[in-house]
Amino acid sequence: MCRKRAERNGLRPGAYQSENAATGAVLGTTLGGAVGASAGAWAGLAGVAIGAAAGAGLGLIIGLTGGTFKPLVPDPPYADAVTKCLEEKGYEVSGWE
């Protein structure tokens, strides 16, 4: 009920698992590709290309997985509104899980 009330007032949770996974995948691919390219630099242009591809692939997997399991933390205004509502109803709020 408190969540619905906050959303009716225009507040949004702001933490979505799919967004976390997508962000992790993009960062992992970018950083993995860069690290792979620099690691393959000793083998010339072919080494750079292979290293970048391997690093990007591994980074994608690690980033996607890490982003998927990142804890979901709501936007502060949303969390404050829901917490206040719960406290008004007599609940003791100790954090978000």
Residue 89's pLDDT is 92
Residue 44's pLDDT is 81
Give the residue extent of every domain in the chain: 18-88
3 state SS for the chain: CHHHHHHHCCCCCCCCHHHHHHHHHHHHHHHHHHHHHHHHHHHHHHHHHHHHHHHHHHHHHHHHHHHHCCCCCCCHHHHHHHHHHHHHCCCCCCCCC
Q: Residue 97: is its pLDDT beyond 70?
A: no
Q: How confident is the model at residue 17 (pLDDT cuts 50, 70, 90)?
A: low
What would the pLDDT profile of 30-86 be if each residue is shown by its tens digit?
888 888 888 877 778 888 888 888 888 888 877 777 766 665 667 788 888 888 999
